[in-house]
Chains A and B, each alone.
Chain A
Amino acid sequence: MMDKAKKIVLRGRKVVGGCAEGEALVTRDRISGWGGIDPRTGTVIETRHELRGVSFAGKVLVFPGAKGSSGWSSQFHVARLAGKAPIAMVFNEMTTKIALGAVVAHAPSVTDFDQDPLQVIETGDWVRVDGDNGIVEVTKKN
């Protein structure tokens, strides 16, 4: 009963199909690909980023969107081959960088939500991303 009460469902649009679930890593800062992450470890390296030094490997990455160099997709592509990509992506702002990055990361991804995922999801929450149906289920950690 408690679990059910704590579950929140967000509805959006499919970016990349497939399903994945895991722990959320949430940031309010946009993420740079090339020069912003180390794809071999999945760690954010940008100097003034709030996630600097934190790895998104195996996490559901929840963020506003992408910024910076057009090397965005190739960095997340390398991260996937290195086994360090996010397992799913949840974001607000559609750009070519993030669309292509999500596609080549093979990460189920959803955008265009009925409510702001950055307001609902916190780091550590358990999140299930159903890319095909554009549904994101959030189980709050507390």
Chain B
Amino acid sequence: MKLAADEQAMLEGRQGKAKQKAMDLLVRYGEALGAERFVDTNNVCGTVGASTPFLREYGQKHGGLDAVFSEFNLDSAEVVEIPKVAVRSSHLQQGIDPEHAERQGIPVEVVKLHRRGEVYSAGLGIEMLNTCAPYTVGNVPAMGEHCAWMESSAVIYINSVLGARTNAEGRESAGCAMLTGKIPYWGYHLDENRLGTHHVELDIAVENITDWGLLGYYIGEVVQDRIPVISGVRQAPDLPKLKHFGAAAASSGGVEMYHLAGITPEAPTLEAAFGRNKPVMTFRYGKAERRQAYEHANITGRSPNVDFVMLGCPHYTLDQIGEVARLLEGRRVHENSELWIFTPRQTRLLADQKGYSKVIADAGAHLMSDTCSALGRVIPKGTRVAAADSAKQSHYLPAIMGIECWFGSTAECVDAAVTGRWNGGLQ
């Protein structure tokens, strides 16, 4: 790779050991990619937390949080002192919600460690947003802004909906970017790699949020990590729909960028979305494809007795919490079931003000933050059968926790929580 003077200086250790380690990892990573140079970034989203069991133990054994950062963010077995971050850095979701630790089955000593970790990370200058959806709570990259973000559902959102430029970074590359403000200039940072590759023609109306999730889940399976261009969208989707669509496509495949012809910023027209690319494949999405996506999203669902309903993947917006509050009004979660709803802390504050939080608490449900069931491996004790309104969560949760999971609409999920039974079905 060709290094600029400041990059060379960091690599030679002239700005301290930590930045040297960071540049060393970035150079190894850039060479692995086949990148020729770096690009400056002033917007990094990553994770430095140590709340999962493996990392907790590692920190305890090897000398604390600098040791965790050194190994898991810089790929350095040698423990180096970590300086403040050099550029704007946001923290993604973590392993626990310290305010609901008991319900999540988290021991007191782990909460203490977690809180120490939060103080450590904030002390490095990282914004502790603690969400998979930073773009809903203040970190909204601008069109064309070069970013270094982790979290597949956020990456696909900022590339496609906002026109920002990021690859799906990992824990190590994001950590190194925080300290250096550098990331390989490769992939989605370049114009020519952002053009469409596959054309999806809609035969049916895709309207509600469940339908957008199914569409994403289907498309991800077909195009894997390529760039679909969807035409025939009759009504422009709002943020929650785009959030669910992208999260689903990034889970069943590895989609990091898409275009909605005539809607998203780099697709003023179908032709512009493809540019000089000829679609390598054109396919249609109709009733049969929708049914297949539904069946795949429900592949683990067997027993109708639902122990646990998980909402908020990706983390809910205020309007989504409002919808659940409306659905729960005057009802109670069944004694054999639990309902957990995940949203960023900042959104929870607004939900408190709106009165949603009270309705949810009165119904016996729980509004949580900072983590999610799949990431934190936090579910009610003894859960065998879950339900979720997220194709992403229903994709990952069964594999990670060894349980069944139904996928359906938010209303079907709330009904399941209230009755303890799954009565969902493809409408």
> How many residues of chain A are within 8 Å of chain B by beta carbon?
40
Q: Mark B219-230, 1 if CB is under 8 A from A, else 0.
A: 000001100000
Q: Which one of A1-9, A19-27, A44-52, A115-123 contacts B?
A: A44-52
Q: Mark B15-59, 1 if CB is under 8 A from A, else 0.
A: 000000000010011011110000000000000000000100010
- The one of A13, A67, A99, A103 that contacts B224, using a Cβ cutoff of 8 Å: A67
Residue A42 at the chain B interface, CB threshold 8 Å: no
- The one of A81, A82, A103 that contacts B32, using a Cβ cutoff of 8 Å: A103
In the bound assembly, the distance between CA atoms of A77 and B74 in angstroms comes to: 11
**Contact in complex: B32, A70 (CB < 8 Å):** no
Residue B422 at the chain A interface, CB threshold 8 Å: no
**Contact in complex: A35, B400 (CB < 8 Å):** yes
**Contact in complex: A104, B399 (CB < 8 Å):** no
Q: In the complex, what residues of A have CB within 8 A of residue B399's CB?
A: 35-36, 45-47
Given the interface contacts A16-B32, A77-B75, A94-B34, does A47 sit within 8 Å of B171 by beta carbon? no
Q: In the complex, what residues of B have CB within 8 A of residue A40's CB?
A: 54
Given the interface contacts A100-B172, A104-B75, does A67 sit within 8 Å of B254 by beta carbon? yes
Residue A73 at the chain B interface, CB threshold 8 Å: yes
Given the interface contacts A70-B170, A100-B173, does A45 sit within 8 Å of B400 by beta carbon? yes
Q: Which residue of B lies closest to A46 (CB)?
A: B399
Given the interface contacts A72-B170, A95-B225, A101-B170, does A81 sit within 8 Å of B58 by beta carbon? yes
Residue B338 at the chain A interface, CB threshold 8 Å: no
In the bound assembly, the distance between CA atoms of A66 and B225 in angstroms comes to: 9
**Contact in complex: B171, A71 (CB < 8 Å):** yes
Among B25, B186, B399, the one with the most A-chain Cβ atoms within 10 Å of its Cβ is B399
**Contact in complex: A97, B170 (CB < 8 Å):** yes
Q: Chain B's nearest CB lies how many Å from the CB of A107?
A: 11
Q: In the complex, what residues of A have CB within 8 A of residue B299's CB?
A: 47-48
In the bound assembly, the distance between CA atoms of A38 and B77 in angstroms comes to: 22
Q: In the complex, what residues of A have CB within 8 A of residue B224's CB?
A: 30, 67
Contact residues of B between 228 and 284, Cβ < 8 Å to A: 250-251, 253-254
In the bound assembly, the distance between CA atoms of A100 and B84 in angstroms comes to: 23
Given the interface contacts A13-B34, A15-B32, A72-B170, does A47 sit within 8 Å of B300 by beta carbon? yes
Residue B398 at the chain A interface, CB threshold 8 Å: yes
Residue A55 at the chain B interface, CB threshold 8 Å: no
**Which secondary structure dominates where chain B touches chain A?**
helix
Q: Chain A's nearest CB lies how many Å from the CB of B257?
A: 12
Q: Mark B186-213, 1 if CB is under 8 A from A, else 0.
A: 1100000000000000000000000000
Q: Which residue of A lies closest to B92 (CB)?
A: A70
- The one of A81, A97, A104 that contacts B254, using a Cβ cutoff of 8 Å: A97
Q: Which residue of A lies closest to B74 (CB)?
A: A104
**Contact in complex: A35, B170 (CB < 8 Å):** no
**Contact in complex: B169, A70 (CB < 8 Å):** yes
Q: Chain A's nearest CB lies how many Å from the CB of B51?
A: 13
Residue B306 at the chain A interface, CB threshold 8 Å: no
Contact residues of A between 69 and 125, Cβ < 8 Å to B: 69-74, 77-78, 81-82, 93-97, 99-104, 109
Q: In the complex, what residues of B have CB within 8 A of residue A70's CB?
A: 150-152, 155, 168-170
Residue B167 at the chain A interface, CB threshold 8 Å: yes
In the bound assembly, the distance between CA atoms of A32 and B399 in angstroms comes to: 11
In the bound assembly, the distance between CA atoms of A4 and B300 in angstroms comes to: 48
Contact residues of B between 129 and 163, Cβ < 8 Å to A: 150-152, 155
Among B251, B254, B395, the one with the most A-chain Cβ atoms within 10 Å of its Cβ is B254
Q: Chain B's nearest CB lies how many Å from the CB of A34?
A: 8
In the bound assembly, the distance between CA atoms of A103 and B300 in angstroms comes to: 34
Q: In the complex, what residues of A have CB within 8 A of residue B400's CB?
A: 35, 45
Q: Chain B's nearest CB lies how many Å from the CB of A37?
A: 9
- The one of A30, A34, A103 that contacts B75, using a Cβ cutoff of 8 Å: A103
Q: Which residues of A contact B (CB under 8 A)?
A: 13-16, 30, 34-36, 39-40, 45-48, 65-74, 77-78, 81-82, 93-97, 99-104, 109
Q: Which residues of B contact A (CB under 8 A)?
A: 25, 28-29, 31-34, 54, 58, 71-72, 75, 150-152, 155, 167-173, 186-187, 224-225, 250-251, 253-254, 296, 299-300, 374, 395-396, 398-400
Q: List 16 A-B contacts (CB under 8 A).
A: A30-B224, A35-B396, A35-B400, A45-B400, A67-B225, A70-B155, A71-B171, A72-B170, A74-B72, A77-B171, A81-B58, A97-B170, A100-B169, A104-B170, A104-B172, A109-B32
9 closest A-B pairs by beta carbon, nearest first, are: A73-B170, A67-B254, A35-B396, A99-B32, A74-B171, A70-B168, A96-B167, A70-B150, A100-B170
